[in-house]
Structure 1
């Protein structure tokens, strides 16, 4: 790659759908982007973006020393002055914030808010409290796991008392309750009523300069246990007064950067409750990009203080009508969760949906084939 003052470093192997979206954006706009691959089996090696791999990590452990070494290579051997580390996944972001001073002294750019605010938004319980303080609703909290089903167990913080990363549990019945009690410490969690209704994502980049890029999607099909979104369509929720209240809250709290806020909307009243927020890159980012939302341009502008090169006016596959990740339709992801949608409609609309497939594109054709034909 030709020398340029600014470059991006991204860890791949985690959140691969978002990483591929960033790779496509960099390719279209001529951005210097380098990848630190997660071993030789990283999915990125089954894409045309494998040429961007700077280093293939021999261990999944990530250290400050490794990051500093990669930044030094990009500065000394490739001639870049500043290197933005893409906020691609949660464990990386937490490390970047802990080691921010050393990284920035070495020429890195960490495109995140300060550590305390990041934790307040990323940790589910504290973000719920923030929303309530601004008059935004969250699901009813329960003092203890109820006898009836369903209900939700959410981690109070990113990590439990043993340091292990915690994830929410959807408790649908006795089997899920037994698994939760066997695997988790109840003291690390809080409990909420399960929220019914329409599943929405509010998607945004809040720029340091006051610019706001925002869109939304309605989720239709999801992997089991609150897993990854498989199918979504456009929504106009971001034009609503409710969406504006979330954006105003984030601005008032001093937030900037990428964020996805998940909500449930009651079908009768239209009332929304906040489920969680992810202040980082998220899986279905390609859908927002396909519909013209310049999320990575906002990230570039914040990181480097310069206007990014323009996005090419390239038609999105299928017109960007749907987000569809066919590779998410695997046995381990069942039973799938349908949100105001049903299997019969998926079959009826399959041709239009398949035209928007995330990985059934030239740069990721081999990865698409592998996901649909996994090796036993």
Structure 2
């Protein structure tokens, strides 16, 4: 399911390139852009999965099994992964391995409210409840869906309310507020604690600090290796050991710049967008997940940073439309060389095409903004 998260997918393919396995790439549509992004690695006819419904998705996975034989489904895409986990026993009998936990444990971690409550149980700090006054903007806050529900009245991802405009946009949405909760906004950088567990035991971990993020809390566009305080790591590892977690997970925290405290925000139990950063720095999560071991050896002095240049252009468009700002934080560390996720020999062509598409998108965004002003 490469197009469910193409930056994570290309990082995975690079990490597994050279291992003794057959790697097949699947897409949800016959997009030329997808084929260009993965051109260097499409050695077989691309496969296609159907994401229109749960039944159609499961059926398409089984159809691929009939064509390929037994295979392992790598964890991308929130909705598709939930569908696969819900039918995990059936898929296993069919010869399809889904390397993660059962559906109840998955939802415990992936659903926003249950994750926050679990963190409290293990004395991991979480943000306080936010203040939502429909009549006026009082302070920054984040509104989140309590759990994933496919409905127009439920947000599909958290929304940052940072000014009068974003509050007005929120008020215009026909949301069921009983299915949401709010938290105060923590002013500080986002930290990802990335881990692969086996029956609750930490097999591999890597931490990154996110230096630049698109407006409105969207994608990370620049990040670097980081070290969390040991007591925070111990609490998180203890929590996942207690629930017997299997597979990869990324826990997002925020560091409050005034108090220097760390607050747990959410967890994504699947491969994350800036996965390339951990792989460039020697933490091969895809290989560990598949049981191959970690063969990448990067000397400590060769620390690599992550950057996604086209993401800045996409962020400018978001800024034009929402009036939100980029989230930028300084983190000074010597000997970090930043590498773009696409500006590499295997994806040069896609790098330039994506930049061009993003630039055109900004132009349309400017025209849209001008139209609004004229009106």
Is the TM value for this pair above 0.5? yes
For residues 241 and 67 of structure 1, do their structure 2 counterparts lie closer, same or farther at Cα, with a shift above 3 Å needed? same
Q: Deviations over 1:83-114 (max 9, x none)?
A: 11011111111110121122111101011111
**What is residue 111 of structure 2 aligned with on the other side?**
123
State the alpha-carbon separation in 2 of the partners of residues 310 and 194 from structure 1.
Answer: 37
Are positions 1:73 and 2:67 aligned together?
Answer: yes
Q: CA deviation at 1:174?
A: 2.0
Are positions 1:297 and 2:291 aligned together?
Answer: no
**What is residue 253 of structure 2 aligned with on the other side?**
263
Structure 2 counterpart of 1:55, from 47, 55, 63: 47
Secondary structure, in 3 states, of the residue corresponding to 1:213? Answer: strand
Q: CA deviation at 1:54?
A: 3.3
**What is residue 220 of structure 2 aligned with on the other side?**
229
Q: CA deviation at 1:26?
A: 2.4
Which aligned pairs between 1:361-376 and structure 2 lie closer than 5 A?
Answer: 361-374=344-357, 376=360
For residues 336 and 16 of structure 1, do their structure 2 counterparts lie closer, same or farther at Cα, with a shift above 3 Å needed? farther
Q: Deviations over 1:135-174 (max 9, x none)?
A: 1111001474474021110111111556866111100122
Secondary structure, in 3 states, of the residue corresponding to 2:13? Answer: helix
CA contact 1:206–1:212 (8 Å) conserved in 2 = yes
CA contact 1:12–1:36 (8 Å) conserved in 2 = yes
Are positions 1:26 and 2:20 aligned together?
Answer: no
CA contact 1:203–1:259 (8 Å) conserved in 2 = yes
**What is residue 311 of structure 1 aligned with on the other side?**
295
CA contact 1:29–1:309 (8 Å) conserved in 2 = no
- Consecutive unaligned residues in structure 1, runs of 5 or more: 1-10, 76-81, 302-307
State the alpha-carbon separation in 2 of the partners of residues 65 and 24 from structure 1.
Answer: 28
Secondary structure, in 3 states, of the residue corresponding to 1:220? Answer: strand
Q: CA deviation at 1:58?
A: 7.7
Normalised TM-score (structure 2): 0.84
Segment of structure 1 superposing worse, 13-22 or 159-168: 159-168
Are positions 1:41 and 2:31 aligned together?
Answer: yes
**What is residue 341 of structure 1 aligned with on the other side?**
330
Are positions 1:329 and 2:317 aligned together?
Answer: no
Q: What's the Cα RMSD here?
A: 2.7
The size of the alignment, in residue pairs, is: 344
Q: Deviations over 1:257-281 (max 9, x none)?
A: 1011111112343311111100101
For residues 232 and 309 of structure 1, do their structure 2 counterparts lie closer, same or farther at Cα, with a shift above 3 Å needed? closer
CA contact 1:145–1:191 (8 Å) conserved in 2 = no
Normalised TM-score (structure 1): 0.84
**What is residue 241 of structure 1 aligned with on the other side?**
231
Secondary structure, in 3 states, of the residue corresponding to 2:357? Answer: coil
Q: CA deviation at 1:336?
A: 4.8
Structure 1 counterpart of 2:71, from 83, 91, 100: 83
**What is residue 176 of structure 1 aligned with on the other side?**
166
- Consecutive unaligned residues in structure 2, runs of 5 or more: 361-375
